[in-house]
Chain A
Amino acid sequence: MTSIQPGRAWHPVASSGDAVVRHVFQGRLLGRELAVWRADDGYVNVWENRCLHRGVRLSIAVNDGRELKCQYHGWRYSNRTAECTYIPAHPADAPARTICNRTFAVVERHGLVWTTLELDRPEDLPVLPDDGRPLALRPITVAAPAAQVVDALRSYDAGEDLRLAAEAELLLRFDRGTAPGLTILVQPSDATTSVVRGVLHGVAVVDRDRPPLDLLRLHNRALNRVRARVESDLGPLQAEQQEPELELLSEELAELPPLSRPGRSASLRVRVERKWPAGADVAGFALAPLAGHLPAAQPGAHVDVHLPNGCVRQYSVVNAPGEGDRYVLGVKREPDSQGGSSCLHDVVREGDVLAVSEPRNNFPLRRDAEHTLLVAGGIGATPLLAMAQTLAHHGLDHELHYFAQTEDHLAFRDRLATLGGSVRRHLGLDVAATKARLGEILAGYAPGRQVYLCGPGPMIEAAREVAAQCGWPVEKVHFEYFKNAQEIDKESSFEVALARSCLTVKVLAGQTILEAVREAGVAMPSSCEQGACGTCLARVIEGEPIHQDVYLNDAEKASGEAIMTCVSRSASPRLVLDL
């Protein structure tokens, strides 16, 4: 009597009209609290109602249209996947992918938002008579267990000619003559609370903006009468509180990670939903998931794209915050393509399925700067566009300086247009003019400013040089190279001790540290494998690295505390790594 056994898996938890934009609806199902919110793209999220950090309810969070921001310490969670995208207390770091709130499946149908707490149950949404636009009644919360409420509703009488015609678990259907008239669903909120949700069928709605108020009031009065009767019959409730079943940490997170196969993995399958000319020599790609949701991409993140010809290439994700239904990439045709850009331009077509890695963010964006400069050269605009959209969405002060040959060479002009006045175009400048312009842009360093650079190698070199002359400290100058153009010396041979794994491996001439480590059975992530992306970084405990990458900045290189294992080597006979 006092506890409700979950039966039917899917329950309505809100009216569609409850989930208005820029609001978080507080819901409850079978004793579990839910935060229900609609993003500006229309998607309704149903999440566990707590922030992963300190457990504060997300129903008091800020819905900014793309993300929920917890009111306590500002953790941000992405539309659709509930992955944490930013932690203000760690502004320089990209949150780990495992920081992800619990989401529940959602279906919006019959004017109601439905969810299920049971992950392994197939979809068995009750089928309601669907006759055009269903009209959801005002939900009525009753302080009584669901079974009692259903009992009382069997004799529901709104004064209309409605007759009980069909009954299923927590569902009653009333017909008018032979036509379906009203379906009443009882949502088991917890052991002592239920919500009565009615859906009227066959209502002739003349004006979409003017609901038939008389009808809504009629049923509201009748349902209030039912509530009054049930609550007075029941008296004060003594039922035991229903505790939601809290699942244990998943095995995957509780156990040591399994030994993974060495090499780069592509865990996602995506379909090329759209391919279009996004600028001169630039192909835009929208990659949609084959099923489910794509992991959220933080600004600055890239994915590995595994191509039909066997090549693996890295492309920055252009997505704006909360844009979770696809990844948008921009691929420039390289005249000296080794098979990457030419394959994407010439071979890959709309409808093709590609394997891509989860997004990785080795170029994270701080959001605590008073002013952020984004300096893009050519296709280097892609990660910076993601950053600019984020800063614009948060209302943070920034400028995007975009160097390109001509107006036609600017990529993603539709997105640039949404950024308005923060975009500065610098077109057709030669090397000397570019350097002079960089001098103007980077002049006037002040504490509280940050600069992010991405573009062709020589341009980043020039910009870093100019920034240093203008007094920018190295830690305020962030950069990402497309590729490492340096000549890599692989001739030396040395020993690498892996402190955590208690292993010592020999790195032979012609072999990389990454290869030697993987050969010894130690899993190590990697992406570009040429010292540009930052994925295979290892911390150095002892020894003297010879840096051959373009990821670390000069200060990081001089400190000798980190090494890119795909290209760098050791000057000392022995290197101890934190692996």
Chain B
Amino acid sequence: MITLYDYELSADCYQARLALAVLGLEYSRVDVEFYPGREHETEWFTELSPLQQLPVLCEEETTLYDAPAILVYLASRHDPTASWYPGGDPALAGQVTLWLGFSRALAGSAGAARLHESLGHLTDIDAARSRAHTLLRVLDEHLWFGEQEGRDWLCATDRPTIADLAAFPDVALSEEGGVSRIDYPAVRRWTDRVKRIDGFVAMSGIFPAGPVAA
């Protein structure tokens, strides 16, 4: 049985919920009150997650506390088609890892700006926003040329990967941190595509996409 230590409004936790949903996995949730209760700083939680990071995923003997690690683990263990994490293909595995790293940079900028605005974690807000825009420019260019090449997703494959799931939350929630996506049209189209992945689930602040054309 999979257990997810989860906070509803966390973008990192949402990455894990997205992965569990698209993989069609059942799991039980343990609510950790990040804000305002700061439950992630308690002794019992620090034992589980030494860096006091959410989410934490437990399955049998495995306990993981880092969102990209959880995504890699879930896809490797539970996706027999190996399309969500194409670890056997060196080039693709490299690309996935690249974008997982990019998603951490998004968490440290767009995500940090959001935590500053709404969840009481103060940061240098101007620097965070400026860094977020730098990343979104790169992402938009990558996705725009992808569209020209007939590629819908972050990695060069015709199926979405965990890279898309990892990058999506902090992008789709960026406006809560005062980072507008108006200047990134290719990013906006990509978020619509992610929302149309089979099994996609929304969270507070993320609206579902409409029906696809027949």
Residues of chain A whose beta carbon lies under 8 Å from any beta carbon of chain B: 14, 17-18, 20-23, 25-28, 33, 40, 59-60, 62-65, 69, 71, 138-139, 141, 193, 195, 209, 211, 213, 216-217, 220, 395
Contacts and interface: CB of A to CB of B under 8 A. Distances in A.
Interface string B175-214: 0000001110100110010000000000000011111110
B209 A26 contact: no
Nearest to B188: A26
A220 B209 contact: no
Contacts of B124: none
B183 to A, nearest CB: 4
Interface of B: 141, 144-145, 147-150, 181-183, 185, 188-189, 192, 207-213
Nearest to B185: A18
Contacts of A193: 183
Nearest 10 interchain pairs by C-beta: A62-B210, A141-B183, A71-B207, A26-B182, A18-B185, A64-B210, A211-B148, A138-B144, A21-B213, A23-B192
A60 B207 contact: yes
Contacts of A195: 183
A25 B185 contact: yes
A517 to B, nearest CB: 46
B210 A213 contact: no
A92 to B, nearest CB: 25
A213 B211 contact: no
Contact of A213 (B148, B207, B208, B212): B148
B145 A217 contact: yes
Given A22-B212, A62-B209, A64-B210, A216 B145 contact: yes
A28 B213 contact: no
16 contacts: A22-B209, A22-B213, A23-B192, A27-B182, A60-B207, A62-B209, A64-B211, A65-B211, A211-B148, A213-B145, A213-B148, A213-B149, A216-B148, A220-B141, A220-B145, A395-B211
A139 B137 CA distance: 11
A64 B212 CA distance: 8
Nearest to A217: B145
B170 to A, nearest CB: 17
A25 B208 CA distance: 16
B63 to A, nearest CB: 37
A174 B197 CA distance: 43
B192 A28 contact: no
A139 B185 contact: yes
B150 A209 contact: yes
A193 B184 CA distance: 13
Nearest to B192: A23
B180 to A, nearest CB: 8
